Amino acid sequence: MNRTSHPILSMVVSRVGLGLLSLLIVSLVIFFSVSLLPGSYASAILGQNATPEAVAALETKLGLDRPALWRYLSWLGAAATGELGQSFAGRPVMAVLGPRLLNTITLASITAAIAVPLAITLGVICARFRGRFIDRFLSTSTLASISLPEFFVAYLMMMIFAVKLQWFPSMAGIRNSMDLGEQLYRMVLPILTLLLVILAHMIRNTRAAILSVMSSPYVEMARLKGESEGRVVMRQALPNAIGPIASVVALNLAYLISGVVVIEVVFVYPGVGQAMIDAVRNRDVPVIQACALIFATAYIGFNLLADIVSIVSNPRLLHPR
């Protein structure tokens, strides 16, 4: 038992360590990159007629006059405990981002709940009927979807379903006062756009992962034993393609959290992406840093999850000689 679990445990621990190191490096890049943004929050708030003394006094109040390294270490230590500081507007950053983060997670969760099983199912169908009409149709459709940028797909969905057909609202502004049905109704177009964007990647990679396994000796042996093609795909190919499929799914889930900025801006959806754009416009550095750190943590976390799934599902590690 020890010999079986040892290689898996050591690889998982090393991946977790690399993930934490990556997050540390990314936090360093985030902090100092945001610090290089043009303009000054103090100058923007006080206006062009503000005296240098007034600007310096406000920067001192906000802590912007302290050394960059000291500010970074203070910010990192607080972020490690879940405290993201105060926005320049005077509110706690988590009070600003809390409702927005919940909205983004809700949007991403609903999209993922639809996209993951649908993509895996369609990918299996493409692999099962390789070269037939359904495979060619889905392959062509997904290739076309991948070639289109997210904002174009978003505006296309808006033009068709909001302007022409008038089935759904073009703006996805949701509020807590709305009931669940109204909120879901307003979220239809953002969800549909995200589905079209991520389904293509997951379907194509699921198909490729299964087809790469289909040429393995144990698959050929199953065919020689007389098993049907569908049974071979489901019982032999799919379980052994879980690692690559999990990696693709995790990457697309990371995109749902960290790459929805464009979708949220187009549909005016009150999520973290929209909050980050507003913070950049207002030069609210703590909010910008918090948004970027949330996106980076989600992206690295899902990639780490994909690595762990790939390791755990590797038969050579589960059954070492």
User: Mind spelling out the 3-state secondary structure of the chain?
Assistant: CHHHHHHHHHHHHHHHHHHHHHHHHHHHHHHHHHHCCCCCHHHHHHCCCCCHHHHHHHHHHHCCCCCHHHHHHHHHHHHHCCCCCECCCCCEHHHHHHHHHHHHHHHHHHHHHHHHHHHHHHHHHHHHCCCCHHHHHHHHHHHHHHHCCHHHHHHHHHHHHHHHCCCCCCCCCCCCCCCHHHHHHHCHHHHHHHHHHHHHHHHHHHHHHHHHHHCCHHHHHHHHCCCCHHHHHHHHHHHHCHHHHHHHHHHHHHHHHHCCHHHHHHCCCCCHHHHHHHHHHHCCHHHHHHHHHHHHHHHHHHHHHHHHHHHHCCHHHHCCC
Domain count, the chain: 1
- Cα(284)–Cα(277) distance, integer angstroms: 10
Phi, psi of 231 (to 5 degrees): -65, -40
Q: What percent of the chain has pLDDT over 90?
A: 0
Question: Which conformational region is residue 314 in: left (phi greater than 0), alpha (psi within -120 to 50 degrees), or beta?
Answer: beta
20 pLDDT exceeds 50? yes
Nearest to 138 by CA among 191, 228, 241, 208: 208
Nearest to 74 by CA among 220, 277, 230, 286: 286
Answer whether residue 240 is part of any domain. yes
Q: What is the mean pLDDT of residues 286-300?
A: 83
List the domain range (segments joined by +) for residue 138.
103-318
Answer whether residue 2 is part of any domain. no
Residue 126: give its domain's CATH number: 1.10.3720.10
Q: How many CB atoms lie within 10 A of CB 152?
A: 12
Q: Are 156 and 240 in contact (CB under 8 A)?
A: no
Answer whether residue 81 is part of any domain. no
- Cα(84)–Cα(65) distance, integer angstroms: 19
CA distances from 314 to 134, 240, 248, 309 (A): 31, 8, 16, 9
Supply the pTM of this predicted model: 0.76
Answer whether residue 176 is part of any domain. yes
Name the token pair of 125: 């169908």
Q: Are 298 and 234 in contact (CB under 8 A)?
A: no
Nearest to 118 by CA among 209, 306, 249: 249
Confidence of residue 321 (pLDDT cuts 50, 70, 90): low
Name the more confident of 6 and 224.
224
Answer whether residue 1 is part of any domain. no
Q: What percent of the chain has pLDDT over 70?
A: 77
Q: What is the mean pLDDT of the chain?
A: 77
Q: Are 240 and 315 in contact (CB under 8 A)?
A: yes
* pLDDT in the model for residue 244: 75
Answer whether residue 71 is part of any domain. no
Answer whether residue 149 is part of any domain. yes
Task: Give tens-digit pLDDT for 96-153.
Answer: 888 888 888 888 888 888 988 888 888 888 877 877 888 888 888 888 877 788 788 8
Answer whether residue 52 is part of any domain. no
